[in-house]
Structure 1
Amino acid sequence: MSNPTQPATGRKLTLVVLGLAALITTMLCAFALPSLHSGPHRVPIGVTGPEETRKAVRESTDGDAWDVRLYPTAAALQTAVKHRDIAGGLAVSAHDVDVYTATAGGPSATSALTALGDSIAAQHTTRATVHDLVPFTADDPRGAGLTAALLPMIFGGIFPALILGSIFPGHRGLRTRIAGALLFSLVAGAAIAAVLQFATHSVDGNYWLTALGLILGTAALSTTLLGLQALLGMAGFALGGALMMLLGNPLSGLATGPHWLPAGWATLGQLLPPGASGSLLRANAFFDSSGAGLPALTLAIWVGIGVALALLADRRGRRPAATARSAR
């Protein structure tokens, strides 16, 4: 006699195998495709100088790689760089070329802009002088600490959902898990900011602003994963973890700057918590919070989504309890 559970087991096994294969394929695409197509993609830069020179530089550089904007003076160009309106710029005259960069805003774009300045200077038979307006700190000139901060933030979202879920399981422990995730975000964000600022000296901005950004980023990751876990179980936790780690991490642009990724990938990365957290950290740590509004709003929305999912799971969990009480 045939076992009726065998077909169901076979279908379940097939779905699991296909799902894992899709996950591995997605991981490959997320890590490989952006790297294969990395490079300057419409990087906003400014140009100032005599009108004819500005137009000539704009015509020779404006395209898929650069988004060239004209500025009346070098001072206006420098202000735009410091306010993150542009990634850098060129001040071109008949005798020299000044390259204004912001390495802390994107090391890869800085290198490409420096090479562009050298090329234009060669055309004018002169030399380019580089001015790094927003560098990394002297103790961490390559920004290694800033790049390394992303993984602790991602794991700071994964671990609370996993550990709190095992210690305070079920519907009764849901509100405790939410409170625990928010409390953990507060402590972890402040701790990561302290390490970056006082231990590794990787950032030198306002500590409290940096800490608030990291708290918000950690809260966005932890509440989202917790909400998915509460609503969909371990399948939701696995989905959220894969989304943050396999897509959010490589698409964050924290190491290179978002302009180094293809436009679609860059946009997706900045809409996910890891990318928004990295952008907010960069803005608070090096640019006096210039450009912090959009990533902060993005993270706040993710926190709202996570809490809403948890509240939905809480409401759904109350129905069986109410039904059981009324049946007595």
Structure 2
Amino acid sequence: MLSPADGTVARPNPRTIIGIVVGVAALLAAMVTAFALPAANSGPHDVPIGVVAPAAQADELSQQLDGFEITRYDSPDAARNAIDHRDIYGALIVDGRDVNAMVASAASPAVATAISTVGTRVSQTVGGSSQTVDIRSFPPDDPKGAGLAAGALPLALGGWISAMVIMLLIHTPGARVLTALGVSVVGGLALVATLTYVIGTFDGSYWVTSLAAMLGIAATCFAVLGLRELLGGAGLGIAAILLIFLGNPLSGLASAPEMLPTPWGQIGQLLPPGATGTMLRDVAFFNGNGALHSIGVLLCWLVGGLAFYLLGVWRNRSSNEVDTDEFHIGRHAADEPSVTS
């Protein structure tokens, strides 16, 4: 830093150095906490599953199975219908001493494994056997759904970076909105094409799944645009916290929202990355069943972000008009000939 008087290098303020050091340390600690703490405390937290068994046996299982929320069904078909409609993650079907675990690993490989393990443990206690039936799995090219699990961070960063680039390169409000819509459409098509044809995570309708991805990207992009336009640099910080620091680790895409500590899993489903990932899962593998909540969350982010953006444009335009009027008045006064006595 050069002094304006003599060109010498000014000595930095010790408070500035201390502030940078402490700030970076706090940022790193916050990042580690946000990303590692939910994973370190992962486990079943009221995971909804079904039980097909006599009422007394179902009540006994409800008391024995910590971390699971048990619903009794009268038949395997009823339990399967509940899985297909995303009411439960799987079911234990008790037939005498034998226990069959009905799971849908496409809903969550981690929960499917937990249900299968529980089925084995229950059957062993009564000297029976167990087996697992996976009624809806990921395609063979991506059997663990790694592509979907890894998608939370690109969704968060993609929307944040897209909004930054739009704000930097596009300078009119209308053009920014059109560009954001274009990014959402093309980005949704590209995202689903990659997950379907390159990674092999999806095997459902490409166009329907792409529409879901477009909504998720639009919600993220417009949320960042709105916060930035209305709040300036602070808005970008808020967007980074909501989308990256919280939205990514709390999305539940690597396991399930119910596998995260309460209430963090539920909070993650109210943020764009988690809502988008859950919606893509529901649309791609369960015919849209269970997607209504996620769609509602994303529409709120989309409409709210657009409202913030329009409000910020109106406020900033009003400010610019005042500055322009003052400039013209001052310039007109400067151009008038002065009257000397």
Normalized against structure 1, the TM-score is what? Answer: 0.90
Alignment of structure 1 residues 265-276 onto 2, 5 Å: 265-276=264-275
Equivalent residue, structure 2, for 1:97 = 99
| 8 Å contact kept, 2:162–2:221 | yes
Equivalent residue, structure 2, for 1:257 = 256
Equivalent residue, structure 1, for 2:192 = 193
Structure 1 range deviating more: 308-317 or 28-37: 28-37
Letter of the structure 2 residue corresponding to residue 242 of structure 1: I
**1:60 aligned onto 2:64:** yes
Gaps of 5+ in 2: 1-9, 330-341
Three-state SS of the structure 1 residue aligned to 2:141 is: coil
Letter of the structure 1 residue corresponding to residue 163 of structure 2: A
| 8 Å contact kept, 1:54–1:92 | no
Letter of the structure 1 residue corresponding to residue 234 of structure 2: A
* Of 138, 149, 152, the match for 1:150: 152
Whole-Å Cα distance in 2 between the matches of residues 66 and 250 of structure 1? 22
Offset, 1:13: 7.1
Equivalent residue, structure 2, for 1:162 = 164
Three-state SS of the structure 1 residue aligned to 2:128 is: coil
Equivalent residue, structure 1, for 2:134 = 132
Structure 1 range deviating more: 277-286 or 142-151: 142-151
Whole-Å Cα distance in 2 between the matches of residues 68 and 29 of structure 1? 32
Equivalent residue, structure 1, for 2:39 = 35
Question: Structure 1 residues 13, 186: CA separation in 2 closer, same or farther (over 3 Å shift)?
Answer: farther
Whole-Å Cα distance in 2 between the matches of residues 325 and 163 of structure 1? 27
Q: Deviations over 1:71-102 (max 9, x none)?
A: 11111011111111011110102142110111
Whole-Å Cα distance in 2 between the matches of residues 11 and 294 of structure 1? 48
Offset, 1:241: 2.1
Equivalent residue, structure 2, for 1:293 = 292
Q: Deviations over 1:154-178 (max 9, x none)?
A: 2220221121222124xxx233222
Whole-Å Cα distance in 2 between the matches of residues 152 and 163 of structure 1? 16
Whole-Å Cα distance in 2 between the matches of residues 17 and 230 of structure 1? 30
Normalized against structure 2, the TM-score is what? Answer: 0.86
Question: Structure 1 residues 52, 238: CA separation in 2 closer, same or farther (over 3 Å shift)?
Answer: closer
Equivalent residue, structure 2, for 1:44 = 48
Whole-Å Cα distance in 1 between the matches of residues 284 and 202 of structure 2? 6
**Number of positions where the alignment pairs a residue of Structure 1 with one of Structure 2:** 318
Three-state SS of the structure 2 residue aligned to 1:89 is: strand
| 8 Å contact kept, 2:55–2:72 | no
Offset, 1:323: 2.1
Equivalent residue, structure 1, for 2:117 = 115
Equivalent residue, structure 2, for 1:220 = 219
Identity across matched positions, percent: 38
**1:247 aligned onto 2:246:** yes
Whole-Å Cα distance in 2 between the matches of residues 32 and 142 of structure 1? 21
Whole-Å Cα distance in 2 between the matches of residues 177 and 124 of structure 1? 65
Equivalent residue, structure 2, for 1:231 = 230
Offset, 1:231: 2.1
Equivalent residue, structure 1, for 2:29 = 25
Whole-Å Cα distance in 1 between the matches of residues 309 and 103 of structure 2? 44
* Of 88, 91, 108, the match for 2:90: 88
| 8 Å contact kept, 2:97–2:123 | no
| 8 Å contact kept, 1:150–1:278 | yes
Letter of the structure 2 residue corresponding to residue 52 of structure 1: A
Letter of the structure 2 residue corresponding to residue 244 of structure 1: L
Offset, 1:124: 2.1
| 8 Å contact kept, 2:204–2:285 | yes
Offset, 1:315: 0.8
| 8 Å contact kept, 1:50–1:93 | no
| 8 Å contact kept, 1:149–1:192 | no
* Of 51, 74, 77, the match for 1:75: 77
Whole-Å Cα distance in 2 between the matches of residues 14 and 105 of structure 1? 48
State the superposition RMSD in angstroms: 2.2
Structure 1 range deviating more: 23-32 or 258-267: 23-32
Letter of the structure 1 residue corresponding to residue 150 of structure 2: A
**1:208 aligned onto 2:207:** yes
Structure 1 range deviating more: 138-147 or 108-117: 138-147
Equivalent residue, structure 1, for 2:307 = 308
Offset, 1:55: 2.7
Equivalent residue, structure 1, for 2:179 = 180
| 8 Å contact kept, 1:53–1:93 | no
Three-state SS of the structure 2 residue aligned to 1:46 is: strand
Letter of the structure 2 residue corresponding to residue 144 of structure 1: A
